[in-house]
Chain A
């Protein structure tokens, strides 16, 4: 396992005799030869679209009298003002934040608990868990959403049927509950994957640490709390980081579930709101401004998290 290994700063390679400059030149041309194919496509798929969206966010289409076609005029920050005041976007952002605050820690706690249990036990059961944990990840988000839609839908849902027998009238697709029903779909898809990432960090912990702890009289719970969890902190930071990015990007699950629940509006999540404004209302300038704000928000959230996480883990290491 490679996770815990921090590569020591390498001593600079000793200068090669004679051929040195020719090698430098060869390296320079190889650099660009190997990098260019990726860079060209990177520009096409990321840089150009980003620049285009930023530029478009400052322009608007001035409707002509008949409302057909129009003239493209510079709009300054007007699109941004409209975007900030857009109630769909605001509600979507609020929804996604609430979702993230609840779902991400919950999912990672479950993943951590499962990883610790798999690591602590021997036998067939841990192996079965590791194999089945992979299955939901292999189920695409769209299919997961379809699958759970039927598991929520009155008439096909075993859960609604069981709860009805207990006298509870459950509606997983209603206004108040649907956000958490989506949270469950995302949790189902990603818990196993995150568990495997954390578990692989656990297997990288040197075993003699446990022996030393046992000699000091630490029990299994104490070892888990004081050795295992702190040492897998980097894996937790990484999985949290990707979960935050995924939460902001929430799109496929609610879009699919929309066919089954009237509680999900066209602009339910920020990504959906942007798409709705662009293709539903054909207001590309405002949609671009919304998307740019969304990108800035994602940067602030994820880097903010990394900064806090680094401070916390560094502080812990210093103690």
Chain B
């Protein structure tokens, strides 16, 4: 095949890909600018006659005494708190698995990895019973505590520690008389930081998207994360309700989308790819 046509073909493939990725988001943007009735009467992928975006946003933010803002705040607390904790715990555990020999190391690491395969429905029910026996149902802890555990984060942290923290450096510090915890804090952890950003982002997305666990453990609407709240609004599909769900959805992805595109260069997908070699 001549090079020119094959290049053209590749460009066409990429353009179709970009359109596929963007059209739903574009639809969401245009739909948020329409009134409830225009949603059905105007062209679906373009703006309506009246620009109602700000009216829609105001309606979402004031609905049920500003519940939506509360949901967003909850999401930030769950995802932010959960991800910071999960990253630190994973970093410490991954470092230990990479740098220290101890009996049962491989079996323990295998068990942690295998837990990735456990279906959510298996864990959520016992967690519900566990938290209710501890009186923690309907508290933020019921969502935060499970979010602190990221088996995948331990996995990534171990790879990172193996690849980027040189043993010679640790041995030199030991000869200088530094304690192991101090060595981890002052040598291991700082070297691991760039890759830990990836662990943080993975955990953050995981908690932000989590929906099953909060649905089971939180009854109080004031504690819901944004995903659960929007699901609940969407669960009453009356046409009057649509605009709340649509504009709410747009508002809920803006912070995440900005954060992600901004942090993209710190996101090392190749870490996951490197995982295969382990």
Give residues in A with beta carbon < 8 Å to B. Answer: 1-3, 5-7, 10, 13, 16, 19, 23, 26-31, 33-35, 37-39, 41-42, 44-46, 48-50, 52-53, 56, 110, 113-114, 117-118, 120-121, 125-126, 128-129, 131-144, 146-151, 155-158, 161, 188, 191-193, 195-197, 200-201, 204, 220-221, 234-235, 237-238, 245, 248-249, 251-252, 255-256, 259-260, 270-271, 274-275, 278-279, 284, 287-288, 290-292, 294-295, 298-299, 302
A119 to chain B, nearest CB (A): 10
> CB-nearest residue of chain A relative to B239?
A155
Query: Chain A residues with Cβ under 8 A from B221's Cβ?
Result: none
Question: Can you list 18 A-B contacts with CB-CB less than 8 angstroms, sorted by A residue number?
Answer: A3-B274, A31-B96, A34-B92, A34-B95, A45-B148, A50-B126, A132-B22, A134-B264, A136-B24, A136-B25, A140-B208, A140-B227, A142-B230, A150-B31, A158-B44, A197-B273, A235-B273, A288-B125
Q: How many A-B residue pairs have CB under 8 A?
A: 312
Partner of B114, one of A52, A234, A270, A299: A299
* B96 x A48 contact (CB < 8 A): no
B187 CB within 8 Å of chain A? no
Across the interface, do B212 and A252 meet the contact criterion of CB distance under 8 Å?
yes
Query: Contact at A38–B273, with CB atoms within 8 Å?
Result: no
Contact of A38 among B127, B129, B149, B184 (CB under 8 A): B149
Residues 1-52 of B at the A interface (beta carbon under 8 Å): 1, 3, 6-7, 10-11, 13-15, 17-18, 20-22, 24-25, 27-28, 31, 39-40, 44-45
Q: How many angstroms from the CA of A156 to the CA of B37 in the assembled complex?
A: 11
Cβ of A28: which chain B residues have Cβ within 8 Å of it?
A: 102
Contact A294 B122 (CB under 8 A): yes
A22 to B204, CA, bound (A): 40
In whole angstroms, how far apart are the Cα atoms of A238 and B245 in the complex? 35
Pairwise interchain contact A49-B130, C-beta atoms closer than 8 A: yes
A147 to B276, CA, bound (A): 34
B10's partner among A121, A139, A298 (CB-CB below 8 A) is A121
Q: Are B93 and A125 in contact (CB under 8 A)?
A: no
* B253-A140 in contact (CB<8A): yes
Report the count of interface residues on B (CB-CB < 8 A).
Answer: 100
Which chain A residues border B205 with CB–CB below 8 Å? 137-138, 140
Q: Is B231 an interface residue (CB 8 A)?
A: yes
A256, B230: Cα distance in complex, Å: 10
| Chain B residue contacts of A19, Cβ below 8 A | 174-175
Q: What is the minimal beta-carbon distance from A230 to any residue of chain B, in angstroms?
A: 14
Considering the complex, give the chain B residue whose CB is closest to the CB of A187.
B20
Is the CB–CB distance between A7 and B179 below 8 Å? no
B145 on the interface (CB 8 Å rule)?
Answer: yes
Judging by beta carbons under 8 Å apart, are A139 and B25 in contact? Answer: yes
A103 to chain B, nearest CB (A): 15
Contact between B27 and A150, CB atoms less than 8 A apart: yes
CB within 8 Å of A: which of B102-145? 102, 112, 114-127, 129-130, 145
The answer, yes or no, to whether B193 is at the interface (CB within 8 Å) is: no
A26-B179, A147-B24, A252-B212 provided; 7 other pairs, C-beta below 8 A? A26-B180, A30-B100, A117-B10, A129-B14, A155-B39, A204-B270, A234-B276
